Amino acid sequence: MTANVPELIATSRLTVDVGAIVRNWQRLHAFVPRSAVAAVVKADAYGMGLEKTVVALAGAGCAHFFVATPDEGLQARKTAPGAEVFVLAGLTRANAPIYQEAGLIPVLNSLEDIVCWAERCRETGNRRPCALHVDTGMNRLGLTLDEAKTHAGDEKQRHSITPILIMSHLACADDPGDALTGGQVSRFEMVRALFPGTPASLANSAGTISGIGKGMELARPGIALYGAQAVNGTLSGMEPVAQFEARILQVRQVEKGEGVGYGAAFAAQRDSVIATIGAGYADGILRSASGSGVPLRQLSGGAEVWLAGYMVPIVGRVSMDSCALDVSNVPQAVLEKAEWVELFGHHIAVDAFAAAAGTIGYEALTGIGRRANRKYLND
Ligand SMILES: *Cc1c(COP(=O)(O)O)cnc(C)c1O
């Protein structure tokens, strides 16, 4: 893990309310009262910090964690030695011993994965548990329905591994009207019937909030824990977790007609006041959030940020380490005192910041750069 950058020498900062993550996790239980609720903590807990997140959730009673890679699995395992850590992908013959020694639970996504894990268990005489992932319509990872049937019907193969979870993943649950979800649910019910007695998990955040996982043993929410939208158009009662800010580096006068930033993509329509902040695309302000001068900007205006009570637009192209704000409407006295601007957090929803860059809250959260000072509240 990279060491935290001290605030004094950082030009961006991320404040994470760890207590809010725990409260969001508790809120999710209400949607699936008879299920256990796991926490998906892949990608450094969606950029919020895996270690802090796992410690807090394990302390609150969360017993199941999902990560994307074996490396993340080792981190989670070290942080919560008593919890079950499922690794969604990345098993190879060469790294299977690492899973086994660390007590990681591999999610097996193919017949090759099954053979790989079965061989490892046989060779070592150690039948470590695993999870089986069956694809029900997303076509990303997982056994096909036919492969699952063949596997379940083959006594020898079936007993070569010890699955403690059967899972599938929803492709469209963020859109409550999408017809694919119903099909995935009924296909997953067929899969469950092939593995009677094995706990099942289907719902991500959107599925959990929509009650899709109600009859299943385990829900697997990620994004809702971190206070971003899971179901389009609503926070579903979750509270924001992250605040992302950048330091104001300089304020300058720009005359009418002058350009700002690379390509002079913004031309001042009037005499303007421009503030340059110390965060750019290397820090998580996507270049597509530029006020002008990049292809996506033909679709909408650029992002707006919050400066001491004023909403101010990003103008011109976002640079690697900085970007420009038109602060002409902010009173001089306010500008003189202001040190930081908020990109998202208390005044701007992460989903709004993301939408202005043509993307989603997931990408905005996971895209926050390593140069940001990280501050944790209520951890
Ligand atoms: C990322 C992921 C989740 C969590 O999804 P959210 O939409 O963040 O709730 C659950 N299951 C799998 C397989 C995933 O890849």
What tens digit of pLDDT does each residue of 109-160 get?
Answer: 999 999 999 999 999 998 999 999 999 999 999 999 999 999 999 999 999 9
What is the number of the ligand 1 atom nearest to the C-alpha of 221?
9
Task: Tell me how far apart the alpha carbons of residues 148 and 163 are, in angstroms, rounded to a whole number.
Answer: 13
Mutate-to-test residue for ligand 1 from 169, 363, 366, highest number of ligand atoms within 8 A of CB: 169
- Give the strand pairing for 84-87 and 64-67: parallel
Q: Is 204 in the pocket of ligand 1 (CB under 6 A)?
A: yes
Pocket flag, ligand 1, residue 52 (CB < 6 Å): no
280's tokens: 């750019």
Rg (CA), the chain: 24
- From residue 139, how far is each of 48, 148, 267, 363 by CA, in Å? 28, 14, 46, 21
CA 252/CA 238 separation, integer angstroms: 40
Whether residue 88 has its Cβ less than 6 Å from ligand 1: yes
| 337 belongs to the catalytic site | no
Question: What are the start-end ranges of the E strands in the chain?
Answer: 12-17, 36-37, 39-40, 64-67, 84-87, 105-108, 129-133, 162-167, 200-201, 218-219, 242-254, 259-260, 266-267, 272-277, 304-307, 310-315, 323-326, 340-344, 373-377
Tell me, using a 6 A CB cutoff, whether residue 222 lines ligand 1: yes
Q: Is 205 in the pocket of ligand 1 (CB under 6 A)?
A: yes
Q: How far is the CA of 222 from the centre of ligand 1 (A)?
A: 6
Residue tagged active-site, from 149, 262, 310, 375:
262
Q: Is the CB of 365 under 6 A from ligand 1?
A: no
pLDDT in tens, the chain (379 residues): 558 999 999 999 999 999 999 999 999 999 999 999 999 999 999 999 999 999 999 999 999 999 999 999 999 999 999 999 999 999 999 999 999 999 999 999 999 999 999 999 999 998 999 999 999 999 999 999 999 999 999 999 999 999 999 999 999 999 988 999 999 999 999 999 999 999 999 999 999 999 998 889 999 999 999 999 999 988 999 999 999 999 999 999 999 999 999 999 899 999 999 999 999 999 999 999 998 888 766 655 689 999 999 999 999 999 999 999 999 999 999 999 999 999 999 999 999 999 999 999 999 999 999 999 999 999 8
Ligand 1 center–CA 328 separation, angstroms: 42
* 42 C-alpha to ligand 1 centroid (Å): 9
Among 42, 52, 226, 281, the one annotated catalytic: 42
Ligand 1 center–CA 205 separation, angstroms = 7
Q: CA 176 from chain center: how many Å?
A: 20
* Atom number in ligand 1 closest to CA 174: 7
Q: Whose CA is nearest to atom 10 of ligand 1?
A: 204
Compute the half-sphere exposure of residue 128: CA atoms within 13 Å on the CB side of its CA: 25
CA distance 219 to 217: 7
Distance 47 CA to ligand 1 centre (A): 14
Distance from residue 126's CA to the centre of ligand 1 (Å): 29
Q: Which atom of ligand 1 is nearest to the CA of 40?
A: 4
**Dihedral sign for Cα atoms in the order 344, 206, 142, 215:** positive
**Token pair of 99 as six digits:** 């899973």
Ligand 1 atom with the shortest distance to the CA of 68? 15
- The two tokens of residue 97 are 């011993």
Whole-number Å distance, alpha carbon 200 to ligand 1 midpoint, is 15
Q: Residue 285 has what pLDDT? A: 97
- CB of residue 169 inside a 6 A radius of ligand 1: yes
pLDDT the model gives residue 267 = 92
**262 an active-site residue?**
yes
Q: Whose CA is nearest to atom 3 of ligand 1?
A: 204
pTM score of the predicted model:
0.96
Q: Is 238 helix (H, G, I), strand (E, B) or coil?
A: coil
Tokens found for residue 250:
């300089």
